[in-house]
């Protein structure tokens, strides 16, 4: 059996920074081009008014205040001294360039070792990447960019009203990689229109394009969203927890073993929702996934042998 079932983020961070590092969420007063009419209205079918983040401080607080309050709390609870400033909610590159520069610079201080920026693939632009490049050159702070993709199935993306397809994601990843920043991709493995085949294709495309990290979520259904309406009328149904667990394991098996896995399932608020994580806590689901992997001797990268012309490899072995 493999010593590590999958490439865990906490271990990766410890090796990279030499000690435990924690992410501190920062909430900016920004919106999203899929809500304000630039590329869509109403947002993604699953996105509620609060956006995608929760458990965050008010976006009316300054970056310094959010950092200090969260650092005091997390630092005390876990004895942490180094942190990642995580611009989490909505689309954190969707703003005038000068504002973006100011926000990023405001997050810089000695205990911050990395800035992580969550955004949409269609909001990655060279000018914004150059701002980040200047920051790394001046300060040595690492930059990572978290791209919401959710699935490589562009038919599903269209049903979700994402306002972008797979091509925009590929374009964004290639551009970001030119600057040497790490890319984390967010995926949802239980989207109602996706099959096991799509799950495998997710793993293959992320592995081939060379992203560095992946973050998995299970779809949760917020009241008063389009998805909520579909769920209530039975237009969409959710797969079982057992099926979700199998999808996650299958995804990991096809995933390049060097990709870092930030999480196997997200935490989600119970309030204002119709469906959340099969009414099971996220860590119990994580335990079940790990237990099944151990029992069945399955691990990340077990089926990662589809690259570099696998059909001709037998000629080379002869
Ligand atoms: S891109 Fe993100 S913030 Fe924008 S509507 Fe979709 S989930 Fe919400």
Residue 2: predicted pLDDT? 65
Specify the DSSP element, H or E, that contains 311. none
Index of the ligand 1 atom closest to the CA of residue 43 = 5
User: What is the whole-number distance in angstroms between the Cα of residue 52 and the centre of ligand 1?
Assistant: 7
Residue 117: predicted pLDDT? 97
Structural domains in the chain plus CATH codes: 9-317 (3.20.20.70)
Buried b (16+ CB within 10 A) or exposed e, 48-87: beebbbeebeeeebebeebbeebbeeebeeeebebbbbbb
The closest residue, in CA terms, to atom 6 on ligand 1 is 44
Index of the ligand 1 atom closest to the CA of residue 162 = 6
Question: Which residues are CB-neighbours of 137 under 8 A, at least 6 positions away?
Answer: none
CB 50 within 8 A of CB 35: no
Specify the DSSP element, H or E, that contains 82. strand 82-87
CB 261 within 8 A of CB 8: yes
Reading the block at residue 275, the tokens are 């469906």
CB 146 within 8 A of CB 91: no
User: What is the whole-number distance in angstroms between the Cα of residue 141 and the centre of ligand 1?
Assistant: 27
Residue 42: predicted pLDDT? 85
> Measuring CA to CA, which residue among 191, 195, 188 is closest to residue 214?
188
User: What is the whole-number distance in angstroms between the Cα of residue 182 and the centre of ligand 1?
Assistant: 21
Q: Which residues line ligand 1 (CB under 6 A)?
A: 32, 34-35, 43-44, 47, 51-52, 90-91, 120, 148
Which residues of the chain are modeled with pLDDT < 50? none
User: What is the whole-number distance in angstroms between the Cα of residue 47 and the centre of ligand 1?
Assistant: 6
Instruction: For residue 67, give Cα distances in angstroms to 25, 84, 97, 190, 200.
Output: 8, 10, 22, 33, 38
């Amino acid at each position: 059996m493999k010593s590590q079932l999958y490439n865990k983020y906490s271990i990766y961070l410890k090796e990279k920074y030499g000690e435990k590092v924690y992410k501190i969420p920062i909430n900016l007063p920004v919106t999203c081009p899929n809500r304000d009419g630039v590329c869509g209205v109403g947002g993604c079918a699953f996105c509620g008014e609060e956006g995608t983040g929760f458990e965050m401080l008010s976006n009316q607080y300054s970056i310094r205040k959010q950092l200090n309050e969260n650092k005091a709390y997390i630092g005390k609870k876990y004895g942490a001294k180094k942190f990642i400033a995580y611009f989490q909610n909505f689309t954190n590159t969707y703003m005038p360039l000068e504002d973006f520069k100011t926000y990023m610079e405001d997050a810089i201080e000695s205990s911050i070792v990395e800035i992580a920026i969550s955004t949409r693939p269609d909001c990655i632009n060279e000018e914004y990447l150059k701002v980040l490049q200047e920051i790394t050159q001046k300060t040595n702070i690492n930059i990572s960019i978290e791209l919401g993709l959710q699935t490589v199935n562009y038919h599903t993306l269209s049903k979700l009203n994402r306002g972008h397809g797979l091509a925009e994601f590929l374009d964004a990843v290639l551009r970001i990689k030119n600057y040497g920043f790490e890319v984390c991709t967010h995926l949802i493995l239980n989207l109602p229109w996706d099959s096991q085949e799509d799950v495998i294709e997710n793993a293959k495309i992320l592995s081939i394009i060379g992203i560095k990290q992946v973050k998995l979520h299970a779809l949760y259904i917020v009241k008063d969203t389009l998805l909520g309406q579909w769920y209530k009328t039975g237009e969409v149904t959710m797969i079982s927890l057992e099926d979700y667990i199998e999808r996650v394991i299958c995804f990991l098996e096809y995933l390049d073993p060097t990709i870092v896995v930030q999480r196997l399932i997200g935490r989600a608020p119970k309030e204002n929702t119709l469906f959340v994580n099969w009414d099971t806590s996220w860590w119990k689901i994580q335990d079940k996934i790990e237990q099944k992997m151990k029992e069945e001797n399955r691990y990340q990268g077990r089926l990662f042998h589809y690259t570099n012309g696998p059909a001709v490899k037998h000629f080379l072995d002869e």
